[in-house]
Chains A and B, each alone.
Chain A
């Protein structure tokens, strides 16, 4: 296979609301290469989850739709495939891990049955073999006493254990790509460390690519090869992880990095903040949305700034005001 595993080109996802159409994702393009981990970061409402759910066609229906663009997975546009093929891809070739495992697991079915269901949907094996495989998977993701746990219900497990089960379900068909939507946000730090460690090990063993959605820049720094920063439905910056942290070019990325208290920063010093707030989705301008927040007028007030490659693999939304401000300070 030539080209990246997943290539997203200019997708637009919109929702019908009482107040008309809104574009939650407005022309987003990025790639995930085989075996790599790409982080999708941004604040709540920036469209990161909608972007991910657009890929696997898990948008809330009937209000959500991908209106434009291409989602090329292994070279084929997922927007054009039939629902039957989509089902094979979803869960089979692309696994999904959600933020709240209690909401994603079925509370009235045993863990084992849910794993068996996932395995048998994508592989022709007997129920018995599938159950044996399920136990193996539980063991692989570090669940103690898997023979016993396999016949328990989700509520009998702790939050960290449930997320392990979700990971087992996502991995059991050996997918090429995993979409993990805030997989550790609901967990405590010590449990988060366990889960990230597990994901890292699995990634290493199976060579799975990961699209990791998070708002935690610490998780991004530790886990990802590449980072995509979203703001108000668009990508403002995209770069290899070290490049992004060392040399952020867009004012929003700089603001985001500056506003986290670090363990090595001076205590009680004034933190950098981003003035104003994100405009409501109905009021999004066609022009530069970060300038809209900063109440700035300029060349890109009404027109969308171009997405430009500043240095190899380092892309930025090219509004001069946002880049200059970032550079000057």
Chain B
């Protein structure tokens, strides 16, 4: 993304210490008895024209983070700035004009497309909400968008359930593109699709980014797909980011123990490769009452876990543009010395 180098100083989206907690209620009076700390102090930025990949296992908070970023949820704490404007506490009414600039594509197109609306109505709905164009202009825009995502124009008169999964996801992408956004939050956009169809949708997303200069937050659990799509990758574990770096650095030189374990767990589609695997014990812990110290250190039963309780586990720059959690359980001795 050489052309965008000069604008790199002003990130499109910037998040500081974002927290998204959900109350857990119980007892006779439904008093709050705890909190699900789905997102617990995340800082990141998305630069213009880049794709930031967000990976982690189910329940780590990646989808919640995606929703909070575009203010589909109201953050518990922290700050979100979109093109320099603070949108953390903006009302939904105040946000509406800004929604032209960021749109979302969801995982399951069967559920995120209204089955009682025609495809044309689905794609033009954001235009209606944003009061863009008249009826005829909107119809033209729908035809243009259908061309753009590789669907026949006649699709506008049909219903979404008449299409296959891959085609439905194209409709979802067309809807997101309708208002000419700068940023798309793609929440597991291809996980529900078969591999050959998945490749078609990934190619479409890459082509759209190239032609329209879009920025993506690409949320997925498939690390092969994330590496293919992303410029930078953020790894999330139990509500916190543990490592953020360029896609190449994450895959070739991972520093955090969790990133290493995650990478070694992916089966490689090449029977001649035999790799040493890190087999983790136990499951991803619950975000209700997460461990007080290093969450991954706790899962690994690290002997020095106790020392991390109360310690600042925030991200530190360990190499240029390579951030890693300052966590003594999860870093090599050499790396720990650098950030201690």
Contacts and interface: CB of A to CB of B under 8 A. Distances in A.
B77 interface: no
Contact of A261 (B202, B272, B280): B202
Interface residues of A, number: 47
Interface residues of B, number: 44
B265 A190 contact: yes
B202 A271 contact: yes
Given A188-B284, A190-B261, A271-B202, A261 B228 contact: yes
Interface string B252-271: 00000000011011111111
Contacts of B200: 273
A191 B283 contact: yes
**Which of A193, A219, A221, A223 has the largest number of chain B CB atoms within 10 A?**
A193
A273 B198 CA distance: 9
Contacts of B208: none
Contact of B277 (A197, A259, A262, A263): A197
Interface in B188-207: 194-200, 202-203, 206
A188 B268 contact: no
Interface of A: 43-44, 158-161, 188-194, 196-197, 215-223, 241-242, 245-246, 255-263, 265, 267-274, 277
Contact of A222 (B230, B248, B251, B267): B267
Nearest to B252: A263
B28 interface: no
A161 B284 CA distance: 12
B271 A193 contact: no
Contact of B196 (A222, A241, A274): A274
A140 B225 CA distance: 35
B166 A277 contact: yes
Given A188-B58, A221-B268, A261-B228, A272 B199 contact: yes
B221 A267 contact: no
21 contacts: A43-B195, A43-B196, A44-B194, A188-B58, A193-B280, A221-B269, A222-B271, A255-B196, A257-B269, A259-B195, A259-B198, A259-B199, A263-B224, A263-B227, A263-B266, A267-B227, A267-B228, A267-B231, A268-B229, A271-B228, A273-B200
**Which of A218, A222, A265 has the largest number of chain B CB atoms within 10 A?**
A222
Contacts of B270: 221, 245, 262
Nearest to A219: B267
Contact of A189 (B221, B227, B229, B247): B221
B101 interface: no
Contact of B279 (A188, A194, A258): A194
A44 B227 CA distance: 25
A241 B272 CA distance: 9
B269 A215 contact: no
A241 B267 CA distance: 14
A277 B197 contact: yes
Contacts of B266: 189, 218, 263
A88 to B, nearest CB: 35
B250 to A, nearest CB: 11
Contact of A263 (B206, B223, B229): B223
B17 interface: no
A189 B224 contact: no
Given A191-B57, A193-B277, 20 more contacts: A188-B57, A190-B261, A191-B284, A192-B265, A192-B267, A193-B264, A193-B279, A218-B269, A221-B269, A256-B196, A258-B199, A259-B198, A260-B224, A260-B269, A261-B199, A265-B228, A267-B231, A268-B228, A271-B202, A271-B203
A241 B247 CA distance: 30
Nearest to B246: A267
A95 B223 CA distance: 32
B164 interface: yes
Contact of A245 (B166, B267, B269, B281): B269
Contacts of A272: 199
A189 B231 CA distance: 22
B198 A218 contact: no
Contacts of B229: 261, 267-268
A216 B267 contact: yes
**Which of A190, A218, A219, A271 has the largest number of chain B CB atoms within 10 A?**
A190
B1 to A, nearest CB: 10
Contacts of B273: 221
A192 B223 CA distance: 14
A271 B262 contact: no
Contacts of A218: 224, 266-269
A281 to B, nearest CB: 13
A163 to B, nearest CB: 11
Contacts of B267: 192, 196, 216, 218-219, 221-223
Nearest to A160: B283
B199 A271 contact: yes
Given A188-B221, A189-B265, A270-B206, A221 B228 contact: no
A217 to B, nearest CB: 4
Interface string B270-300: 1111000101110110000000000000000
A228 B198 CA distance: 22
A160 B270 CA distance: 25
Contacts of A192: 265, 267
A273 B283 contact: no
A215 B202 CA distance: 18
**Which of B227, B228, B280 has the largest number of chain A CB atoms within 10 A?**
B228
Nearest to A186: B58
